[in-house]
Amino acid sequence: MIDLKNLTIEKTHDSFKNGVFTCTELVSEYLKVIKEKNDELNVYLEIFSDVLEQAKKADEKFADGSFTLMTGIPIAIKDNILFQGHIASSGSNILKNYTAVYNSTVVKKLKDAGAVIIGRTNMDDGAMGVSTETSAYGVTKNPHDISRVPGGSSGGSTASIAADMALVALGSDTGGSCRQPAAFCGVVGLKPTYGSVSRYGLISMGSSLDVIGAIGKNISDVKIVFDFIAGQDKMDSTSIPLDFYKKKTIDRPTIGVPRAFISEGVDPRVLLNFEEKIKKLQSLNYTVKDVELPYAKYSVPAYYVVTPAEISANLARLDGMRYGYSAEGGNLMEVYKKSRGKGFGREVRRRILLGTYVLSHGYHDAYYNKANAVRELIINDYSKAFKKVDLILTPTTTGPAFKIGEKVNDPVKMYLEDIFTGPANMAGLPAISIPSGFVEEGEKKLPLGIQFMAPHGREDLLFQIGKEFESIKDGP
């Protein structure tokens, strides 16, 4: 029996090298857990048929000495990341049987390193949601309390880690989709700097905001995955070299706290947990000071103008003609209408309508251009703040995971889930959610998360503070 709960990438790698267990044995252990839990949790939409074959090839790499640190590491991928020859449906009926004809850059890098890709995880329809309730394939349940959501849209990926159904996972983050579910599930979720990880082979939602992020149980695992997938890619014109941003070593980063931004609408237990963690950091001789982010509170309304506009443009290609679901119709327009009407879920249709409206003649300036102007103000807020501090600290979410069905019919409440995570996407900044404790709800203990944000390209600072934070988060 392999102790999956306490495995890390480095421990696993050493076990492979020292013959404690093989890649095939480890993958088989994960497959047992998946068989036991997946029917209840609905984490995986598919376990890839070649997973044991992948593990066998990884064992061969250890035999011939061609292994890397990621060789044989079982990883789950979100259903919107292309893996050649495998279905990638983006959690939607419109792409129900779409089989990827090429590998995404991140999958290619992981495959080249010898990682074992277990399967594709459930997600909100088209990555549009914060609870995984909009998925065309049913709701994923939170492993800590199956009556609650795991967060979204990368709910399946984060739940796979929390439930010991993968060692690490990939998600995508457009407004918090790696970090918010990471907080709800008690794991680590990274949103890298925009452009630091190639988007080639990621099914687009909002092209100026989308990023592929890593999810794991600890900072070290997330850093390792990020290091393997990051870097400039000629197939993605928005990708950047690893040395694009200048870096200087900072021994003790100064931490900024935007108290005015986090004072309203937050569960008192989250605020208490947050203040306790600030005191812990101060006890380790970190300087914590207040910072002002006057425009950050407008990130959600601006985000929900910019993102639907980009969604409406990106999803125009899904018309029932070239790939994906196609309904029969008497003429071309009928095919379009029926394919999209049946293929897209309710939330996706809502955002397409919003996006088309804000881009339409007469409203483009009033909404889309104004939202982009607000976006610039948000970017300037953070630029000014980072001249005074090295990191910015907030809670990841306003509360613990909510009940399935509790907010699904209230879009505004759902959208406000992005209040602390959305600004990082609007500004293109790296951010990470780290488990910060639990609150009790009846007999259940629900995880909370804390979020660090850093200047562009400073993932190293997130990993630096994150490792130290991990050492104190469960302390007295």
Question: Which one is catalytic: 177, 220, 239, 312?
Answer: 177
- For 21, 371, 399, 409, the CA distances from 267, given in Å and listed in that order, are 45, 28, 5, 21
Question: Which one is catalytic: 15, 37, 78, 239?
Answer: 78
Residue 385 in contact with residue 394, Cβ under 8 Å?
A: no
Our answer to whether residue 153 is catalytic in this structure is yes
Question: Which one is catalytic: 153, 172, 339, 436?
Answer: 153
Our answer to whether residue 177 is catalytic in this structure is yes
Residues annotated as catalytic are: 78, 153, 177
